[in-house]
Amino acid sequence: MSSALDRLKHLTNKISGYETARKQNLKILQKLFGELDIDKKVAKFEDLFHFKAVNLSGVSLNEENLGTIKKGKYLQILAIDYDKNAIKKSKNISLAYFGRVENVTTELKEKVVEFVIRYRFEKSFMTLEHYHDMLNRFGQENE
C-alpha cells in the first residue's frame, strides 16, 4: 500500500511540476514574443500556436550543440503554416529576421534559441491535450 501511495505522490508532484513549468514558460515566451518583435508579424500571442511548428535558421537546435552558429547563414525565426486546401500544403513564413548569424550578439542569439525551445515546449502540451481529447472519444473500458 505504501509503495502505491508513494508512486501516486511522485506522479502528482511530477504533474504539478509540469503545470508550474508550463505557466512560467508561457510568461517568458510571451515576453520574448514582444522582445524579438514577432508581434509585428503575428498580431496576437495566441495566434502563434496556429502554426504547425516554429523553426529557426542559422543556429543549431540539436541538443548536442544547441546554439552553435552555422557560419554563412542568416538568423531567422520561421513558422511553418499548413493549408490542406492549397496545392503546396505547407509554407515557411519568416516571423523575424536578424541578419547574418556571425553579426548577431550572443544575447540575441540565445533569446532566439530560447524562444523556439519555449514555443516547442508549449506546443507539445497542446498536442498532448489534443490527443488526450481524441482518446476520450473511444470511451474507457475496464480491464
pLDDT of residue 143: 47
The verdict on pTM exceeding 0.85 is no
User: Would you tell me how many other CB atoms lie within 10 Å of the CB of residue 111?
Assistant: 17
The arithmetic mean of pLDDT across residues 40-64, rounded, is 93
Q: Looking at the domain assignment, is residue 43 inside a domain?
A: yes
pLDDT tens-digit map of 105-138: 999 999 999 999 999 999 998 888 888 888 888 8
Q: Cell numbers of 140, please?
A: 474507457
Q: Looking at the domain assignment, is residue 76 inside a domain?
A: yes
| Domain ranges, residue 27 | 3-137
Q: Looking at the domain assignment, is residue 64 inside a domain?
A: yes
Q: Given the DSSP bridges, would you call strands 90-100 and 74-82 parallel, antiparallel or unpaired?
A: antiparallel
Indicate whether 10 pLDDT > 90: no
What percentage of the chain reaches a pLDDT higher than 70? 96
User: Would you tell me how many other CB atoms lie within 10 Å of the CB of residue 86?
Assistant: 10
